Amino acid sequence: MEFNSSLYLVPTPIGNLDDMTIRALEVLKSVDVILAEDTRTSGVLLKHYEIGNVLKSYHIHNEHQQTERIIDELKSGKKMALISDAGTPAISDPGFLLVRECLANDVRVECLPGATAFVPALVSSGLPNDKFVFEGFLPVKKGRQTRLEFLTHEDRTMIFYESPHRLLKTLNQFKEYFGEDRQVSVSRELTKLFEETKNGSISEVIEYFSTGKIKGEIVIVVGGKPS
Protein backbone atom coordinates (compact mmCIF):
# COMPACT_ATOMS: atom_id res chain seq x y z
CA MET A 1 0.00 0.00 0.00
CA GLU A 2 1.43 3.38 -1.04
CA PHE A 3 1.11 6.46 1.12
CA ASN A 4 1.39 9.50 -1.13
CA SER A 5 -0.33 12.19 0.91
CA SER A 6 1.29 14.33 3.58
CA LEU A 7 -1.67 14.80 5.93
CA TYR A 8 -4.22 12.07 6.51
CA LEU A 9 -7.52 12.69 8.29
CA VAL A 10 -8.27 9.37 9.95
CA PRO A 11 -11.71 8.62 11.44
CA THR A 12 -11.67 6.75 14.72
CA PRO A 13 -14.45 4.68 16.34
CA ILE A 14 -17.26 6.58 18.05
CA GLY A 15 -17.54 3.76 20.57
CA ASN A 16 -16.84 0.22 19.46
CA LEU A 17 -13.10 -0.17 18.81
CA ASP A 18 -13.80 -2.83 16.18
CA ASP A 19 -15.11 -0.09 13.87
CA MET A 20 -11.54 0.91 13.02
CA THR A 21 -10.81 0.15 9.35
CA ILE A 22 -7.80 -1.83 8.14
CA ARG A 23 -6.71 1.09 5.99
CA ALA A 24 -6.92 3.52 8.91
CA LEU A 25 -4.66 1.26 10.98
CA GLU A 26 -2.14 1.00 8.13
CA VAL A 27 -2.02 4.78 7.79
CA LEU A 28 -1.57 5.36 11.53
CA LYS A 29 1.29 2.87 11.59
CA SER A 30 2.97 4.49 8.58
CA VAL A 31 3.04 8.19 9.49
CA ASP A 32 5.78 10.01 11.36
CA VAL A 33 3.42 11.84 13.72
CA ILE A 34 -0.16 11.35 14.89
CA LEU A 35 -1.95 14.57 15.86
CA ALA A 36 -4.62 13.89 18.47
CA GLU A 37 -7.37 15.99 20.00
CA ASP A 38 -6.74 14.36 23.39
CA THR A 39 -3.60 12.26 23.66
CA ARG A 40 -4.99 10.38 26.67
CA THR A 41 -8.14 9.30 24.83
CA SER A 42 -6.29 8.46 21.63
CA GLY A 43 -3.59 6.70 23.60
CA VAL A 44 -6.11 4.05 24.64
CA LEU A 45 -7.03 3.38 21.00
CA LEU A 46 -3.43 3.30 19.81
CA LYS A 47 -2.37 0.99 22.64
CA HIS A 48 -5.25 -1.34 21.78
CA TYR A 49 -3.90 -1.68 18.25
CA GLU A 50 -0.23 -1.67 19.31
CA ILE A 51 0.59 1.55 17.49
CA GLY A 52 3.55 3.34 19.04
CA ASN A 53 4.10 6.27 16.67
CA VAL A 54 4.84 9.76 17.96
CA LEU A 55 1.68 11.29 19.39
CA LYS A 56 1.25 15.08 19.63
CA SER A 57 -1.60 17.22 20.90
CA TYR A 58 -3.69 19.23 18.43
CA HIS A 59 -6.95 20.61 19.77
CA ILE A 60 -9.23 23.63 19.72
CA HIS A 61 -7.13 25.50 22.30
CA ASN A 62 -3.78 25.21 20.49
CA GLU A 63 -4.60 24.75 16.80
CA HIS A 64 -3.96 28.41 15.92
CA GLN A 65 -0.53 28.28 17.56
CA GLN A 66 0.41 24.84 16.21
CA THR A 67 -0.80 25.00 12.62
CA GLU A 68 2.11 27.01 11.16
CA ARG A 69 4.68 24.70 12.73
CA ILE A 70 2.83 21.63 11.49
CA ILE A 71 2.68 23.04 7.96
CA ASP A 72 6.45 23.60 8.02
CA GLU A 73 7.02 20.00 9.12
CA LEU A 74 4.67 18.67 6.43
CA LYS A 75 6.43 20.72 3.76
CA SER A 76 9.77 19.34 4.93
CA GLY A 77 8.57 15.83 4.10
CA LYS A 78 7.01 14.52 7.28
CA LYS A 79 3.81 12.53 7.03
CA MET A 80 1.13 13.07 9.65
CA ALA A 81 -2.29 11.77 10.60
CA LEU A 82 -4.94 13.82 12.37
CA ILE A 83 -7.42 12.03 14.62
CA SER A 84 -10.13 13.29 16.96
CA ASP A 85 -11.46 11.69 20.13
CA ALA A 86 -14.15 9.95 18.09
CA GLY A 87 -15.44 10.07 14.54
CA THR A 88 -14.12 12.00 11.55
CA PRO A 89 -11.77 14.94 12.21
CA ALA A 90 -13.10 18.43 11.38
CA ILE A 91 -16.74 17.38 11.92
CA SER A 92 -17.47 19.45 15.06
CA ASP A 93 -13.82 18.83 15.96
CA PRO A 94 -10.47 20.48 15.10
CA GLY A 95 -9.25 19.98 11.54
CA PHE A 96 -10.74 22.62 9.27
CA LEU A 97 -8.02 25.19 9.96
CA LEU A 98 -5.22 22.71 9.31
CA VAL A 99 -6.78 21.40 6.10
CA ARG A 100 -7.31 24.93 4.80
CA GLU A 101 -3.68 25.85 5.45
CA CYS A 102 -2.44 22.62 3.87
CA LEU A 103 -4.33 23.38 0.68
CA ALA A 104 -3.06 26.96 0.68
CA ASN A 105 0.49 25.61 0.91
CA ASP A 106 0.10 22.83 -1.69
CA VAL A 107 0.33 20.14 0.95
CA ARG A 108 -1.57 17.05 -0.14
CA VAL A 109 -4.47 16.07 2.14
CA GLU A 110 -6.42 12.83 2.16
CA CYS A 111 -9.47 12.03 4.29
CA LEU A 112 -10.23 8.37 4.88
CA PRO A 113 -13.85 7.21 5.07
CA GLY A 114 -15.02 5.95 8.41
CA ALA A 115 -17.04 6.50 11.54
CA THR A 116 -19.24 9.60 11.89
CA ALA A 117 -21.97 9.68 14.53
CA PHE A 118 -24.63 11.58 12.60
CA VAL A 119 -24.92 9.09 9.71
CA PRO A 120 -26.22 6.07 11.70
CA ALA A 121 -28.40 8.42 13.77
CA LEU A 122 -29.96 9.87 10.62
CA VAL A 123 -30.49 6.51 8.94
CA SER A 124 -32.11 4.96 12.03
CA SER A 125 -34.34 7.97 12.69
CA GLY A 126 -36.89 7.06 10.03
CA LEU A 127 -36.96 10.73 8.98
CA PRO A 128 -36.36 11.80 5.37
CA ASN A 129 -32.66 11.54 4.55
CA ASP A 130 -32.59 12.38 0.85
CA LYS A 131 -31.92 15.97 1.89
CA PHE A 132 -30.71 17.09 5.30
CA VAL A 133 -28.75 19.82 7.05
CA PHE A 134 -26.04 19.20 9.66
CA GLU A 135 -26.08 21.88 12.36
CA GLY A 136 -23.62 20.32 14.81
CA PHE A 137 -23.69 21.99 18.24
CA LEU A 138 -25.99 24.97 18.62
CA PRO A 139 -24.43 28.09 20.17
CA VAL A 140 -24.54 27.69 23.94
CA LYS A 141 -25.52 31.30 24.62
CA LYS A 142 -24.94 34.10 22.12
CA GLY A 143 -26.72 33.47 18.84
CA ARG A 144 -28.68 30.44 20.02
CA GLN A 145 -32.15 31.99 19.80
CA THR A 146 -31.32 33.64 16.49
CA ARG A 147 -30.26 30.28 15.05
CA LEU A 148 -33.37 28.51 16.32
CA GLU A 149 -35.58 31.22 14.86
CA PHE A 150 -33.81 30.81 11.51
CA LEU A 151 -34.32 27.04 11.61
CA THR A 152 -38.09 27.33 12.08
CA HIS A 153 -38.22 27.78 8.29
CA GLU A 154 -35.97 24.80 7.48
CA ASP A 155 -37.87 22.09 5.58
CA ARG A 156 -35.01 19.59 5.44
CA THR A 157 -34.26 17.09 8.20
CA MET A 158 -31.95 18.72 10.76
CA ILE A 159 -29.13 17.05 12.67
CA PHE A 160 -27.65 18.34 15.93
CA TYR A 161 -25.00 17.22 18.38
CA GLU A 162 -25.68 17.77 22.06
CA SER A 163 -24.22 16.97 25.47
CA PRO A 164 -26.31 14.85 27.85
CA HIS A 165 -26.70 17.59 30.46
CA ARG A 166 -28.19 19.99 27.88
CA LEU A 167 -30.45 17.50 26.09
CA LEU A 168 -33.70 18.35 27.87
CA LYS A 169 -33.07 22.08 27.63
CA THR A 170 -32.50 21.76 23.89
CA LEU A 171 -35.54 19.55 23.35
CA ASN A 172 -37.71 22.01 25.24
CA GLN A 173 -36.42 24.81 23.04
CA PHE A 174 -37.19 22.69 19.98
CA LYS A 175 -40.71 22.27 21.35
CA GLU A 176 -41.00 26.05 21.70
CA TYR A 177 -39.70 26.85 18.21
CA PHE A 178 -40.77 23.81 16.16
CA GLY A 179 -43.92 22.69 17.96
CA GLU A 180 -44.56 19.78 20.30
CA ASP A 181 -45.72 17.45 17.54
CA ARG A 182 -42.61 17.78 15.35
CA GLN A 183 -40.98 14.37 14.89
CA VAL A 184 -37.60 13.85 16.48
CA SER A 185 -35.11 11.04 17.02
CA VAL A 186 -32.53 11.03 19.80
CA SER A 187 -29.61 8.59 19.63
CA ARG A 188 -27.09 8.13 22.41
CA GLU A 189 -24.12 5.86 23.07
CA LEU A 190 -24.01 4.85 19.39
CA THR A 191 -22.07 1.57 18.79
CA LYS A 192 -21.61 1.11 22.55
CA LEU A 193 -23.09 -1.47 24.91
CA PHE A 194 -26.05 0.70 25.97
CA GLU A 195 -26.80 2.21 22.56
CA GLU A 196 -30.30 3.66 22.42
CA THR A 197 -32.48 5.52 19.92
CA LYS A 198 -35.82 7.05 20.89
CA ASN A 199 -38.20 8.23 18.16
CA GLY A 200 -41.44 10.16 18.49
CA SER A 201 -42.87 13.65 18.79
CA ILE A 202 -40.78 16.21 20.66
CA SER A 203 -43.21 16.03 23.61
CA GLU A 204 -43.00 12.22 23.73
CA VAL A 205 -39.21 12.22 23.65
CA ILE A 206 -39.00 14.92 26.35
CA GLU A 207 -41.25 12.79 28.58
CA TYR A 208 -39.12 9.71 27.94
CA PHE A 209 -35.82 11.36 28.84
CA SER A 210 -37.26 13.17 31.86
CA THR A 211 -37.44 9.96 33.89
CA GLY A 212 -33.77 9.21 34.51
CA LYS A 213 -30.15 10.30 34.25
CA ILE A 214 -28.97 10.88 30.70
CA LYS A 215 -25.53 9.60 29.72
CA GLY A 216 -23.45 9.42 26.57
CA GLU A 217 -22.88 11.49 23.47
CA ILE A 218 -26.13 12.64 21.86
CA VAL A 219 -27.29 13.04 18.26
CA ILE A 220 -30.67 14.69 17.71
CA VAL A 221 -32.43 14.34 14.37
CA VAL A 222 -35.42 16.66 13.83
CA GLY A 223 -37.92 16.52 11.01
CA GLY A 224 -38.07 19.60 8.80
CA LYS A 225 -40.96 22.05 8.63
CA PRO A 226 -43.98 20.28 7.11
CA SER A 227 -44.86 21.51 3.64
Between 60 and 78, name the one with better pLDDT. Answer: 78
pLDDT digits (tens, 9 = 90+) for 11-32: 999 999 999 999 999 999 999 9
Task: Please check whether residues 79 and 42 belong to one and the same domain.
Answer: yes
How many other C-beta atoms can be found within 10 angstroms of the C-beta atom of residue 66? 18
Task: Please check whether residues 206 and 135 belong to one and the same domain.
Answer: yes
Confirm whether 103 is domain-assigned: yes
Confirm whether 1 is domain-assigned: no
The domain spanning residue 168 has which CATH number? 3.30.950.10
At residue 56 the predicted structure's pLDDT band, cuts being 50, 70 and 90, is: very high
Residue 60 confidence (pLDDT) above 90: no
Confirm whether 2 is domain-assigned: no
Task: Please check whether residues 127 and 106 belong to one and the same domain.
Answer: no
pLDDT digits (tens, 9 = 90+) for 90-103: 998 899 999 999 99
Domain boundary among 71, 86, 111: 111
Residue 3's pLDDT is: 61
Q: Return d(Cα 132, Cα 114) in angstroms, integer.
A: 19
Domain count, the chain: 2
Confirm whether 97 is domain-assigned: yes
Domain boundary among 52, 80, 111: 111
Residue 2 confidence (pLDDT) above 70: no
Confirm whether 171 is domain-assigned: yes
pLDDT digits (tens, 9 = 90+) for 173-195: 999 999 999 999 999 999 999 99
The answer to whether the CB of 160 falls within 8 A of the CB of 170 is yes
Q: Within the chain, how many helices (H) and strands (E) appear?
A: 8, 10
Task: Please check whether residues 209 and 130 belong to one and the same domain.
Answer: yes
Confirm whether 227 is domain-assigned: no
15: containing domain: 7-111
Residue of 70, 118, 117, 73 whose CA lies nearest to 95:
70
The domain spanning residue 104 has which CATH number? 3.40.1010.10
Domain boundary among 81, 111, 141: 111
At residue 212 the predicted structure's pLDDT band, cuts being 50, 70 and 90, is: confident
Residue 227 confidence (pLDDT) above 90: no
Task: Please check whether residues 85 and 158 belong to one and the same domain.
Answer: no
Task: Please check whether residues 91 and 137 belong to one and the same domain.
Answer: no
Percent of the chain at pLDDT exceeding 90:
92
